[in-house]
Amino acid sequence: MPKSAPKLEWCIVRLGEDMNWWVEEISDEIHWDVDGLSIIDPRQIGHLMDLLDPLRDYDFQASVFEDAFFKFRIDKKLDDQRLRLVRTNESLFESEELLFALPDVIDEEKGPYADCIDHVTNMRVKLLNDLIEFEQKFTVEELEDDLREEQNADFMEGRAIHVFRELLDILEFVPDGYELDGDEDSTSSKEDDIEESFPDLDEEDEKIEEDETMKWDEDEDDEESEGEEGYDEDGDDLGDDEDDEDEEEEEEKPARKSRKK
């Protein structure tokens, strides 16, 4: 069915216990079976874009990925767990709007989404062979075999595989016993960025060291307190004794002068 078909106009999605979005109802019930039909949310799209970016050095075709999905935007919130989405022609790579991506799985074996999976898998294998020194060249078949084992385990347990996880397993795949240089560094750098963006607020509460420029307030307070100490609670002058001593000194001065005569 071409993407311009008017029957696929909206869908209702629910948030599952796995924190992924699943299609609950769709406008084109003839061509779509909502049982186990998953959809990628805006947060997941952003993460996939980051993982796809390194593949551009290995002849990744963005149009193959773009054509594999029907794009939707949020129409309205139905409740805390459900949203109504409507079709849009926005690009996953260029749009600034929050988009959901529904994989075109009408033909699971030969459709656009199947082509996208094949393309992304080939690009990931190219990247692995370029960055890792294998004893023998790593193949697409080996990657598919490893992932198929995990998918079969989910199938046997009756768990539907979300499209985001399916793509994530390919884009983050590394054979057992190997690792890509920079994986740990990129993780630590993201943690550092978070720490820099959210500094430790306790530092604001640390006591500021005093310097000479901060002492003048204390000096003024001391002078005021000294002035106030000259009075009792009734307001009487407590400095009478000092005044008497001053008078005695003044009386002694003329006596000293008389001895000189």
pLDDT category at 155 given cuts 50, 70, 90 is confident
Domain assignment of residue 200, yes or no: no
d(CA 255, CA 257): 5
Inform me whether the pLDDT recorded for 163 exceeds 60.
yes
pLDDT at residue number 16: 94
CA-derived radius of gyration, the chain: 39
- 146: domain range? 10-181
Q: For position 110, what pLDDT does the model report?
A: 86
- pTM listed for this prediction: 0.67
- Residue-wise over 214-237: b if at least 16 C-beta within 10 A, else e? eeeeeeeeeeeeeeeeeeeeeeee
pLDDT value for 223 = 52
**Is residue 18 domain-resident?**
yes
Residue 169 domain-assigned?
A: yes
Q: Between 193 and 148, where is the model more confident?
A: 148
- 244 within domain boundaries: no
Question: Is there a domain that residue 251 lies in?
Answer: no
Mean pLDDT rounded to a whole number for the chain: 78
State the total domains in the chain. 1
> What is the band of 192 on the pLDDT scale with cuts at 50, 70, 90?
very low
Which residues in the chain belong to E strands, given as ranges?
A: 10-15, 21-26, 38-39, 69-79, 82-87, 99-103
Task: Judge whether 60 lies within some domain.
Answer: yes
Under 8 Å between Cβ of 126 and 140: no
The predicted structure's pLDDT at residue 205? 39
Query: For 43-54, what is each residue's pLDDT tens digit?
Result: 999 999 999 999
Q: Tell me, yes or no, whether 241 lies in a domain.
A: no
The answer to whether residue 49 is domain-embedded is yes
Indicate if the pLDDT at residue 224 is higher than 70: no
Average pLDDT rounded to a whole number, residues 98-107: 94
Contacts of 75 (CB under 8 A, 6+ apart): 10, 83, 84, 85, 86
pLDDT at 165: 95
176 pLDDT more than 50:
yes
